[in-house]
Structure 1
Amino acid sequence: MQSLLPKLGRLYVIAVFAFIFLPLILVLLISFSTDDYLNFPPHGWGLRYYHEVLGNANFMAGIRNSAIIAAIVMVLSLAFGLPAAYALTRLNFAGRDFLRSFVLAPLILPTIVLGLGILMIFTQLHLTATYPGLVLAHLVMTLPFTVRILQTTLGNLGTEVEQAAMTLGARPLQTFRYITLPRLVPGLVAAGAISAILSFDEVVLSLFIVGPRLTTLPVAIYRYVDERTDPMVAVLAVLLIAVSLGIVLIVERSVGFARAFGR
């Protein structure tokens, strides 16, 4: 019986991964279809819809906008998230627990409710269908993840090395710059990568903010699917998966997610 447990464990793991990745494999195969509609197995194979995506100005504009917004959101998430995470982890002050809950509140609220509230405010501020509006809307979603990841990283680092540096005469700012910050680099890389992925893939909040002259790739896909269902949808899905997977692989190969969380 004991000899069967490892085999059953491996079969269970294989079944879980098959359940997760089999739909992705089907999407990848359908993206090479030459049919005029979604069909599996396809009647013909080729790169027809990849060429059409590359020649579609709306999708290319969506990719460009999504990439620009994701890059800005990543930088701002780290710029605002690092001080917040440090204060919530290392400093004791009145209202810290309330502030922590307030920062993480967007993770609890339904995204559609959050989007409606953002739309009502941004309409008054004339931020709809603008780059600043989309960046701020995405920050509402990415900042809690950034703070949470950096909190975990800071908590796992411990304070012994920092205390030793201050005992030897280093000032708090010097300690943070030369001791804490270099040790935080893996966590910063992981938090930045996740912020970029969340921003690039965000569709619900973007639907409330975009306009006819400014759209993102997920919104362009959503609108396309509402009108047509052909293998171009699969090609666009493959592009989104490739971007997310590429960022994850870069983080894993450069610093590793285990190291990113200070383990």
Structure 2
Amino acid sequence: MKPSWALRVFAALGYLILLLPGILVAVLSFSAGDFLTFPPPGFSTRWYAALFSNQALMSAMVTSAILAVIVATLALLVGAPAAYAIARLEFRGRALLAGLLVAPLVLPTLVLGLALLLVLQPLGLGASWPGLVLGHSLIAIPFSVRIMTTAFSAVPRELEAAAWTLGATPLRAALRITLPNAAPGAIAAGVLTFLVSFDETVISLFLVGPRLTTLPVEMFRYADQTADPLIAALSMSLIVFAVLMVGVVERLMGFSRAMGK
């Protein structure tokens, strides 16, 4: 059954509403003016050039990139074994373990950020790399577990069983058979957890300091103090980067499938 013209119109309007903010940001990022005004007085790439000369934003971008790589690596190291246990093993409390591992996604990030601040500050871990890694990992690991559980579940159990019959131990079969077949899921999990950490703002607001800040927090500060199109140029660059990364996930595994839908 083909969709009616009314449904198509409403769908088109829905897409337009969703895309309109991004289109507006794209137009403003090429503004030749000194302030965020629409329509822009002219078009120029001056703000993209100015972006790379802004030391504070570039330093925060490097910090966020390093932090995201560490968090994505940690999320895979912790999430992959947990996901394998949930997807392939039978044991008491498996459902409870799965629920606990994704529980941080249920809580508002504002609550998590405040709780982390209250716990880490007395330990001297506020505004520190270990504190930021812990805070970002708290929300990145559930994504890794969910994606890797889907990836491991998609690998036929018969492959492991065949390896066992040929003399492989369960650990060797998991490392040599199951894990390589789940590699696209691992890459997808790494990409998405990188983006989750790189884009995290609320938790970072509680855990950063004057000498250690992330790009989203620095963008928030910049937008609060300045109203020029440079922030639009940076936002557009990040949108393009995120779209490319999601495209990688879609290519490897399918975004809906990666999210367990």
| TM score, norm. by length of structure 2 | 0.92
The one of 230, 248, 254 aligned to 1:257: 254
Deviates more, 1:182-191 or 1:9-18: 9-18
Separation in 1, partners of 2:213, 2:170 = 44
The one of 12, 15, 21 aligned to 1:14: 12
After TM superposition, give the deviation of residue 19 of structure 1 in Å. 2.3
Give the 4+ runs in structure 1 shifted more than 6 A.
Answer: none
The one of 110, 113, 116 aligned to 1:115: 113
The one of 210, 215, 218 aligned to 1:217: 215
Matched, 1:202 2:200: yes
Provide the residue aligned with 2:62 in structure 1: 64
Q: What does the per-residue CA deviation read over 1:59-110, in whole Å, with 9 as the maximum and x for residues that have no partner?
A: 0101100110111111111010000111122222232222221111100111
Deviates more, 1:214-223 or 1:87-96: 87-96
| Alpha-carbon contact 2:249-2:255 (below 8 Å) kept | no
Provide the residue aligned with 1:171 in structure 2: 169
Provide the residue aligned with 2:128 in structure 1: 130
**SS of aligned partner of 1:20:** helix
Cα separation, partners in 2 of 1:258 and 1:161, compared to 1, 3 Å: farther
Q: Which runs of 5+ in 1 are unaligned?
A: none
Separation in 2, partners of 1:240, 1:159 = 40
Residue 110 of structure 2 aligns with an amino acid whose one-letter code is I
Cα separation, partners in 2 of 1:184 and 1:82, compared to 1, 3 Å: same
Alignment of 1:211-250 (within 5 A): 211-250=209-248
Question: What number of residue pairs does the alignment pair up?
Answer: 260
Provide the residue aligned with 2:33 in structure 1: 35
| TM score, norm. by length of structure 1 | 0.91
Q: Which runs of 5+ in 2 are unaligned?
A: none
Provide the residue aligned with 1:104 in structure 2: 102
* Cα RMSD for the two superposed structures: 2.2
* Percent identity of equivalent pairs: 45
After TM superposition, give the deviation of residue 211 of structure 1 in Å. 0.5
| Alpha-carbon contact 1:187-1:260 (below 8 Å) kept | no
